[in-house]
Amino acid sequence: MAEEVPAELSATDQVILSTLNYHISRSEFVRVSTIAEECNVSKSTVVKMAKKLGYSGFADMRDTLSVGRADEVSETFLPLDTTEDGDIIAAAERLAQLFWERRSAKHVLMSDTSIVGTILPSYLARKLAMFDINAVSTYDYEAIILKDSKPGIALFFEHNIDPKAGTGIFTLSVARPHFRLARQLGYLTVLVSDVTKETPASQLADKVFLIKPSYDLRCDLFMPRTIMLFELMLSELSRLAGQEAPFEEEAEA
């Protein structure tokens, strides 16, 4: 591929790129005819776009962009030793089991104005949707209240926001009214926290997942560590869903 800045891409080119991205991100081998059909353009338009980006043709672009998809995963920038007890797989399995047992219920992932409360609930809600699990990332009381649905999990985050504090005195805690309401409505309250001392939320929560604190590292790894836990949990959910499928087929038969 050429090093210089390539020619401007048209709106159609963007659609073609997005479609190719969809297939590559799913590790699928895709032909030029498939892309052309899905984008409602001719095959030559797809090839022209590839050339515009500096590739010799569509196959060259696809193959180059697919390089490394199945390669060994490097350990660069991976925050290992994620959970406080060191067994992240066991923690992920426990969390997955909680969601799986309540997969038809409504779940709430409590957000707030902090960066933790903005990102983590949205990230998990988006991923759970892949498994048809209805989880709402919200700060609204109305969203917690149940109408026709059963109470599932109410997930809260508690984070020591000052790495220098060490003892968790400077803590972004769970908003108690939300927590109380969730308990009253029958949700299973789950707390993901890196605060090692007991807090009102950790005393009252049904389940607590302790993320290893990172006070001593001069950098805050709560978010990446929590996302690692979520990703492993999602993988376990996928396994549980795979186990379920044959039983459903048997029931239908």
Site residues for other proteins, 129-188, by CB under 8 A, read: 130, 161-162, 170-173, 175-177
237 near other proteins (CB under 8 A)? yes
In the complex, the smallest distance separating the C-beta of residue 196 from other proteins, rounded to whole angstroms, is 18
Amino acid in the structure at residue 1 = M
Residues 13-52 binding other proteins (CB under 8 A) are: 13-14, 17-18, 20-21, 24-28
Given 12, 34, 45, 64, the residue binding other proteins (CB under 8 A): 64
In the block, residue with structure tokens 């990172």 = 214
In the complex, the smallest distance separating the C-beta of residue 159 from other proteins, rounded to whole angstroms, is 10
In the complex, the smallest distance separating the C-beta of residue 44 from other proteins, rounded to whole angstroms, is 18
Report the b/e string of 100-129 with b at 16+ CB within 10 A: bebbebbbbbbbbeeebbebbbebbbebbe
In the complex, the smallest distance separating the C-beta of residue 172 from other proteins, rounded to whole angstroms, is 6
Given 123, 139, 143, 146, the residue binding other proteins (CB under 8 A): 123
The stretches of the chain forming alpha helices (DSSP H) are 11-25, 32-39, 43-52, 58-66, 88-101, 115-128, 141-144, 176-184, 200-204, 222-252
110 near other proteins (CB under 8 A)? no
Residues 197-216 binding other proteins (CB under 8 A) are: 200, 214
In the block, residue with structure tokens 């892949």 = 130
User: Tokens in use for 109?
Assistant: 């992932």
Task: Report which of 142, 155, 157 is spatially closest to residue 107, judged by C-alpha positions.
Answer: 155
Q: Which helix (H) or strand (E) element contains residue 160?
A: strand 151-160
- The residue (of 149 and 165) whose beta carbon lies closer to other proteins is 165
220 near other proteins (CB under 8 A)? yes
